[in-house]
Amino acid sequence: MMVKEEICLQKLALREIRPTAIRILILQKLIDMQQAVSMSDLEYQLDTVDKSTIFRTLTLFLAHHLIHGVDDGSGILKYALCEDSCHCSVEDQHMHFCCEECHRTFCVRNVPVPFVQLPPGFIQTGANYVIKGLCAECAARKNKEYQ
C-alpha cells in the first residue's frame, strides 16, 4: 500500500469515516494541494469524478471535522484539511490568507482567531479571520517586475 493511501486511511479512521476508493482519492487530492480549495478546483483536478460525488464527500468530511470550510470573501466556499486534533470548535479556528493576485487561500494555523468580547447573551459559534494581500510567490513575481 502506498504511504499516501495509508495516511488517508488513518485520517478517515480517526474521524470514523468508512474508507471508499473515491473518499481516499478526494482526501489524497486535498492533501496534495496543500491549500484551501473550492469544489470547482477539485472537479478540475478529479475530472473523472462527478460533481455530486465530490459534493457528498465534502459534506461528509465537513460533518466529521476532517475538513473545514473557509469563507475568504470571494463568494466561493473553500475547503481545507483540519489538524488531527481539531474539532472545529471556536478554539480551533485560525487565520486564513487570501492572495489577491493568484486567488489561492492558505491556512495560517499558528495564528488563532482573536478573542472578541461579545455583548451579554450573545454566543459565538464561529469566526472568519481572513487577511488579504500577496502570497510569497506573487510578491516575488511583483518584485522582479519592478526591478
Q: What is the CATH number of the domain that holds 110?
A: 1.10.10.10
Task: Tell me the pLDDT band of 91, cut-offs 50, 70 and 90.
Answer: low
Q: Using CA atoms, how far apart are residues 88 and 62, in angstroms rounded to an integer?
A: 9
Nearest Cα neighbor of 19 from 36, 43, 1 is 1
Q: Are 97 and 80 contacting, i.e. CB atoms less than 8 angstroms apart?
A: no
Query: Among 102, 47, 39, which Cα is nearest to 67's?
Result: 39
Q: Which residues contact 90 (CB under 8 A, 6 or more apart)?
A: 113, 124, 125, 126, 127
pLDDT > 80? residue 16:
yes
Are 109 and 143 in contact, with CB atoms under 8 Å apart? no
pLDDT of 9 strictly over 80: yes
Q: Which three cell numbers stand for residue 139?
A: 510578491
Domain count, the chain: 1
Residue 140: the pLDDT is: 93
- Residue range 141-145: mean pLDDT, rounded: 85
For residues 126-146, average pLDDT = 88
- Residue 95 has a pLDDT of 87
Write down the pTM of the prediction.
Answer: 0.78
For residue 86, what are the CA distances in angstroms to 3, 66, 70, 89, 119?
A: 23, 8, 15, 8, 27
**DSSP run (H or E) holding 28:** helix 21-33
Closest CA to 137 of 52, 3, 35: 35
Q: What is the pLDDT of residue 28?
A: 94
Residue 1 pLDDT > 60, yes or no?
A: no
- CB neighbour list of residue 95: distance below 8 Å, 6 or more residues apart: 107, 108, 111, 112, 113, 129, 130, 131
Percent of the chain residues topping a pLDDT of 90? 48
Range of the domain at 81: 3-145
